[in-house]
Amino acid sequence: MSLCVNTWINMGRWEADAAGRFRAAAMELFSEIGYEQTTVSAIAERAGLTARTFFRHFADKREVLFDGTERLQQLMVDSLSQAPAEASPLDAVAAAIRKAGDFFDDERRPFSRLRAVVIAAHPDLHERELIKLARLSGALAAALRTRGVEEPDASLAAEAGIAVFRIAFAQWVAESEVRGYEEILTRSLARLKALTAH
């Protein structure tokens, strides 16, 4: 694993709370000694906190990588639900995946990059990521149905949106990528429209 841990020196808002300190400590250790070798005690020691406190925030070390999932899903579903009534299904989904940009800012990028490296190296984490995306797609389709969109349109728009989201996100965490999430996403959405136009 070649990601430099110096990116962690300025943790900003994450240093303020225990969960953030555990997260930073865990990511440092995943990067330095690998995911398997990292124990909860080592994470707690590095964070200057106790293992007991760790378990108040996370069920296990894997949860450090996935604990933002539910908040992200809620953020996206809310954003879809609040899209103007006249927005097309795809535009409502686009509003939701654009809103995810509140999560994926420059401060979070080093965490997201390292997380992507760890997940790519572990099939069980990759599976969990797939399940998470499938759930997210299901939640967006349900929110579209609540707006009166019928099937299969609701599922198709949600799945197409998740495809755009996933590919934009993969680009955003790529090491050589300098563009921000919103710029990449706008481009991906435009490409989807171009690809399906003929």
Nearer to its own copies, 45 or 177 (CB): 177
Radius of gyration of the chain (CA): 18
Locate 74 and state its tokens: 């809620």
Q: x/- binding map, residues 109-148, to its own copies, per CB under 8 A?
A: ------------------x--xx--x--------------
Binding residue count for its own copies, defined by CB under 8 A: 30
First CA to last CA distance, the chain:
42
Q: Least CB distance from residue 6 to its own copies, whole Å? A: 29
Residue 51 binding its own copies, by CB under 8 A: no
What residue ranges bind its own copies (CB under 8 A)?
88-90, 127, 130-131, 134, 152-153, 155-157, 159-160, 162-164, 166-168, 170-171, 188, 191-193, 195-198
